[in-house]
């Protein structure tokens, strides 16, 4: 008798679980607009194609016309692309106005801040301030500016915001502006998460480790580093040893490069 009751309860539980899972499914996808930055390649590109396939209304920003055309060719007619350089305030403002017109009264259901670069990563004393500034302008200030412009639309939809940070937002593996920029994203993400809670807007942060995207292109990183090495004053080259131009003292940097 007890055994049958147990079986009955187990079936009841499974039936309830099934119903709960079903309730978690997102419905009416064609009403839901998602804006994603940096869709030329990597995570942004994959996210745009994935959400498009699921039926969401994807607004995908690309840095290059070639990137936008390629994405357009690979996706449905519903997906729209727009050119955006997140470091150009005027460009950001205009794209935000375009999004506002597109989404109308629905607001923006999702914002994925994905655009980013690695920037030159090398021992700190190889670098100048412009090496640091490049990733900080794109990954941190650009991300904040896009967010500030689109927050009213996300609030309107009681939507969600996903910031693509990095494991490098927790651990500064080697010199360069990438890590300060991603640490900064963590700070921005966390205060934004609390500020938006009262508006029913969810803010999340993704911290990818080493993935094979354009960002971790080994050849490009080594080439960038060689350019820097070749411009270094002889005194610093001597300190590091002439034979080291293709490598680095830091084992962790090697690890990052071999991804």
- Using CB under 8 A as the binding rule, whether residue 94 contacts a second copy is answered as no
- Using CB under 8 A as the binding rule, whether residue 172 contacts a second copy is answered as yes
In the complex, the smallest distance separating the C-beta of residue 32 from a second copy, rounded to whole angstroms, is 22
Binding mask 197-236 for a second copy (x = CB under 8 A): -xx-----------------------------------xx
- Measured CA to CA, the distance from residue 74 to residue 69 in angstroms comes to 9
In the complex, the smallest distance separating the C-beta of residue 233 from a second copy, rounded to whole angstroms, is 8
- Residues 97, 76 contacting (CB under 8 angstroms): no
Return the exposure string of 29-56: e unless at least 16 CB atoms fall within 10 Å of the residue's CB, then b.
eeebbbbbbbbbbbbbbebbbebbeeeb
- What is the DSSP code (8-state) at residue 168? G
- Measured CA to CA, the distance from residue 165 to residue 182 in angstroms comes to 6
- Measured CA to CA, the distance from residue 160 to residue 153 in angstroms comes to 11
For a second copy, the closer CB: 49 or 225: 225
Contacts of 3 (CB under 8 A, 6+ apart): none
Residue from 29, 46, 144, 232 binding a second copy (CB under 8 A) = 144
Residue 70 CB burial class (10 angstroms; 0-12, 13-18, ≥19)? middle
- In whole angstroms, how far apart are CA 198 and each of 15, 195, 202? 34, 7, 10
For a second copy, the closer CB: 21 or 231: 231
- Residues 126, 229 contacting (CB under 8 angstroms): yes
Residue from 148, 227, 244, 255 binding a second copy (CB under 8 A) = 148
Tell me which residues are annotated as active site.
Answer: 178
In the complex, the smallest distance separating the C-beta of residue 237 from a second copy, rounded to whole angstroms, is 13
For a second copy, the closer CB: 5 or 129: 129
- Using CB under 8 A as the binding rule, whether residue 186 contacts a second copy is answered as yes
In the complex, the smallest distance separating the C-beta of residue 174 from a second copy, rounded to whole angstroms, is 6
- Using CB under 8 A as the binding rule, whether residue 194 contacts a second copy is answered as yes
- Using CB under 8 A as the binding rule, whether residue 35 contacts a second copy is answered as no
Q: What residue has token string 């597109």? A: 102
- Using CB under 8 A as the binding rule, whether residue 138 contacts a second copy is answered as no
In the complex, the smallest distance separating the C-beta of residue 63 from a second copy, rounded to whole angstroms, is 19
Task: Enumerate binding residues for a second copy (CB under 8 A).
Answer: 89, 123-125, 127-129, 132-133, 136, 140-141, 144-145, 147-148, 151-152, 155, 171-177, 179-188, 190-192, 194-196, 198-199, 235-236, 239, 249-250
């Amino acid at each position: 008798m007890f055994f049958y009751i147990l079986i009955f309860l187990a079936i009841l539980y499974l039936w309830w679980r099934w119903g709960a899972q079903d309730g978690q499914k997102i419905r009416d996808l064609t009403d839901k607009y998602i804006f994603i930055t940096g869709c030329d390649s990597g995570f942004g590109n994959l996210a745009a194609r994935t959400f498009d396939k699921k039926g969401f209304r994807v607004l995908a920003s690309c840095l290059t016309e070639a990137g936008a055309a390629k994405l357009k060719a690979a996706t449905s007619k519903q997906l729209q692309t727009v050119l955006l350089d997140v470091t150009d305030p005027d460009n950001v403002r205009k794209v935000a106005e375009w999004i506002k017109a597109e989404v109308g009264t629905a607001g923006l259901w999702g914002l994925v801040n994905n655009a980013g670069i690695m920037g030159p990563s090398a021992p700190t004393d190889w670098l100048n301030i412009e090496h640091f500034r490049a990733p900080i302008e794109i990954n941190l200030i650009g991300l904040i500016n896009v967010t500030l412009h689109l927050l009213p639309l996300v609030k309107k939809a009681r939507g969600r915001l996903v910031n693509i940070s990095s494991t490098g937002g927790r651990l500064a593996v080697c010199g360069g502006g990438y890590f300060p920029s991603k640490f900064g994203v963590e700070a921005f993400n966390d205060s934004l998460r609390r500020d938006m809670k009262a508006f029913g807007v969810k803010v999340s942060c993704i911290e990818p480790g080493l993935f094979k995207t354009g960002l971790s292109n080994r050849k490009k990183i080594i080439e960038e580093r060689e350019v820097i090495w070749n411009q270094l004053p002889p005194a610093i080259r001597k300190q590091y040893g002439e034979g080291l131009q293709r490598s680095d003292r830091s084992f962790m940097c090697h690890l990052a490069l071999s991804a």
